[in-house]
Structure 1
């Protein structure tokens, strides 16, 4: 039996109408999921306001309503709890309802603009190789021990997070690695979670449609570290100009990693080839099949986290060398006949795209063409679009501008915004092909022996979203088919 008063423990309550000493069944913020004796939490979202669905929740059998504004008409037998912030209240209630699941495993959060998925996924991979039961909450999937579950958000809602953490408790999971997005922090999805550690990757232009300014975006990331407990560790990329700022007010043990600066975990690139990286980390050499400077940073962060979580040094290095690339993160194939390399990467920010292109340019001999296919998502930060166009055209020999996930926007208008960043001396190398499949086909037709094709933006995604409808679309699958067709 779960009592309403117990799940409200530590919630900042302004007033209560009714009785909190009552049994409840479930909690939900979607009125359609409410049934007899459930608690409905009215959340104000970007598209709709849960307060408008209180009556529906009442009709469906809700025994309690948690809200920021009391309904004019209150029904006898239903308890109304008024709070200042229902998103924060939901997170604390979810934590209480599922019996504080994060406190019964070691939860590590990874935040930053780029690298969150790679670091969290590879830490999951490393600790699995080391023989532990491990959990993962990422953009790509949620993993509980041996079970996988699909996900659509980088950081799921607080109910979903706590539900899966509880499943992890039941499965005997010892470590969980989790992506922590700026949206997730700002919307209190991670409030109340007991983190054993946090990792900061880097900060660059992204999500300014939501956060309005770069400083607001930066400060939201910092809030995650500000709230870490004294018992946790906080690892930062000290080469990033915001790295030190992130840890200014944290109570956690401060640790640093870097390639250029003196740090607790210093990495040095000894070899950087298409076949992988030879790194020196704190005077230990390790070979990895991951490629590029950005992955050297990722590997340093992974090594640091594993070390702080108690993995023995030789074990850490052994499993680090066995890590395989994450789906849609610098994932590549080489065609049999012409040896054309096709790379699929999630790079959807100017900084991520620049990192990937610079990595390719470092490795290639300059005798090959570098053909980049890139677009920008609709209904998202439009200010980065011309920057993406400039980066792609400056660092590629040929560029095909195409559609990404246009969502509700006109894809041709998005492409025009990207084109605006292409400088006059680069116009001759840029063409626009709105249909993404046709764009990939065009790149494969253009490519000659040993050329390199980069397909940026969608990475692991297996769909394309147009006007709210998701259709099957897998960049890697399509480029494989096209290369086979052109290389017969």
Structure 2
């Protein structure tokens, strides 16, 4: 049990009705999960307003209500706390409830459209290799040292974040690496957390179904840096045209990295192949099995962060050179017939273009490049025709298929992708709605040394159709089909 007065530390309270000396068993923003002696937070969300569920929360045992609007009827046995923003209060109280775990380890947050998962995973593996116990909060999985936990969101809710960080502290972790999504920033899921480093990878067309405009999307990312304390370090990629915007109003120490522009941490690609790259970071050369310019940026960011934390650059480069590819991110497999399979999570126009350009820069052009991809249902529709144009322009053959259609008609999604295909490329694609059949067709059409890119789902091991999840792992299915073809 925790004292309510202790949990309210740093919460900006507008009005308090009741007793702050009571004991609290737990906290929740979901009225269905409330039990006796809980605090219930009424959050105004994108789709639901928690203020509509105050009676349900009280009936289930909530003794404290934290809300933005006080109800008309106030009950004598309930403590009501009115705040300006319930989601910010939730983050602060959650941190207090779990004894502020982010103060007890070095927390690093990575934000950007592309590269978050790869960079956080690389950092986790890098610092583990350097001998530290680490935590990872990512799209693919959450890790507390060697323990793997399921991940449901890129950036979890504040209660889950603090639960995980508290577990990390309990397990002796010294570093935690966390993906920071634009949704998470906008919804104040980071409130109450203490970041040592916040880093920006890039920003391109994505999530406009949620943010409505690109300027809103940029503003959401920038908010993360605006809220960093003076004791933190803000790291940005200045090769991205919006990179410096992230640093405009931050109080944190400003650090830059790049492959092209003049920056504090400058990198260079000396040689690029499908099986890896020869890189140079600050005049130190090394070979990496990661491929593609986008991975050079990811590794350079990992190098920058480690260097800013005081590690010897030579030790860091040596450790980076031993890092392996992240599951579902330029994950490769070569069949006995020398057919080259690449599975990647690329699900935005920029990510798809980056990986196709990386493949094209590394191949001989004596082989075909076949791309299999689709677009997810109930996500930003504006990117669909753009991705159709990119895939057909940069591939020898494109097979447009289903991704996670959710409850949209997959054929309608495919038709929206086709709209962006330029006339000169209309003979370079075909459509197969069934994703497994599309992959099988690509494998049958491929000759030895041909490259098949299966894009969009990456690490995912399911396909979401009409509210149901069906087992589907692109790499696993590709390997099975190659064996049986």
Structure 1 and Structure 2 fold alike (TM over 0.5): yes
Q: Partners of 1:402 and 1:376 in 2: how far apart?
A: 8
Deviates more, 1:166-175 or 1:65-74: 65-74
Q: Which residue of 1 aligns with 2:406?
A: 407
Offset of residue 301 of structure 1: 0.6
- Residue 196 of structure 2 aligns to a residue in which SS? strand
Aligned residue runs from structure 1 range 47-446, under 5 A: 47-336=47-336, 338-446=337-445
Query: Runs of 4+ in structure 1 displaced over 6 angstroms?
Result: none
In structure 1, C-alpha distance between the alignment counterparts of 2:468 and 2:41, rounded to whole Å: 28
**Which range moved further: 211-220 or 116-125?**
211-220
Pairwise CA distance, 1:475: 0.5
CA distance in 1 between counterparts of 2:26 and 2:129 reads: 37
Q: Distance in 1 between matches of 2:233 and 2:300?
A: 15
Residue 46 (structure 2) aligns with: 46
Partner Cα distance (2:12, 2:376) in 1: 38
What secondary structure, in the 3-state scheme, does the structure 1 residue paired with 2:62 have? coil
The Cα offsets for residues 121-176 of structure 1, whole Å up to 9 and x where unpaired, read as 00000000011011111001111112111011110001100111111111111011
Q: Secondary structure at the match of 2:280?
A: strand
- 1:304-331 deviations in whole A, cap 9, x for unaligned? 0011112222210111001011110000
Q: Distance in 2 between the 1:371 and 1:289 partners?
A: 22
CA shift, 1:199, in A, is 1.1
Gaps of 5+ in 2: none
Partner of 2:23: 23
Shift of 1:9: 1.9
Partners of 2:87 and 2:433 in 1: CA distance: 39
Using the TM superposition, give the Cα deviation of residue 297 of structure 1 relative to its aligned residue in structure 2, in angstroms: 0.8
SS at match of 1:27: strand
Distance 1:166 1:75 in 2: 34
Distance (whole Å) between structure 1 residues aligned to residue 111 and residue 361 of structure 2: 27
Name the CA distance, whole Å, in 1 between partners of 2:102 and 2:72.
38
Which residue of structure 1 lines up, in the alignment, with residue 475 of structure 2? 476
Distance 2:455 2:244 in 1: 30
Q: What do residues 181-206 of structure 1 show as CA deviations (whole Å, max 9, x unaligned)?
A: 10000000011210000111011000
CA distance in 1, matches of 2:94, 2:135: 19
CA RMSD, aligned part only?
1.1
Q: Compare 63-72 and 128-137 and name the one that shifted more.
A: 63-72
Distance apart, 1:52 and its partner CA: 2.3
* Cα distance in 1, alignment partners of residues 81 and 470 from structure 2: 42
Q: For 1:165 and 1:43, how far apart are their aligned partners in 2?
A: 23
Instruction: Tell me the alpha carbon deviations over residues 22-79 of structure 1, each in whole angstroms, 9 at most, x when there is no partner.
Output: 1110001111211111111122223332222222211111111112222333322111
CA distance in 1, matches of 2:48, 2:481: 42
Shift of 1:359: 0.4
The Cα offsets for residues 338-367 of structure 1, whole Å up to 9 and x where unpaired, read as: 201111000000000000000000111111
Secondary structure of residue in 1 paired with 2:139: coil
2:461 is equivalent to residue 485 of structure 1: no
Partner SS, residue 307 of structure 2? helix
Structure 1 residue 371: Cα displacement:
0.6
TM-score (norm 2): 0.98
Q: Give the CA deviation at 1:7.
A: 1.3
SS of 2:131 mapped into structure 1? coil
CA distance in 2, matches of 1:76, 1:433: 63
Q: Structure 2 CA distance, aligned partners of 1:171 and 1:35?
A: 28
Instruction: Map 1:5-24; keep pairs closer than 5 Å.
Output: 5-24=5-24
- Aligned mates of 1:16, 1:7 — CA distance in 2: 14
Q: Runs of 5+ in structure 1 lacking a partner?
A: none
> What is the CA–CA distance in structure 2 between the aligned matches of 1:74 and 1:439, rounded to whole Å?
60
SS in 1 for 2:469: strand
Q: What is the TM-score with the length of structure 1 in the denominator?
A: 0.98
How many angstroms does 1:220 deviate by? 1.2
Tell me by how many angstroms 1:482 deviates. 1.0
Separation in structure 1 between the aligned mates of residue 364 and residue 29 of structure 2, nearest angstrom: 55
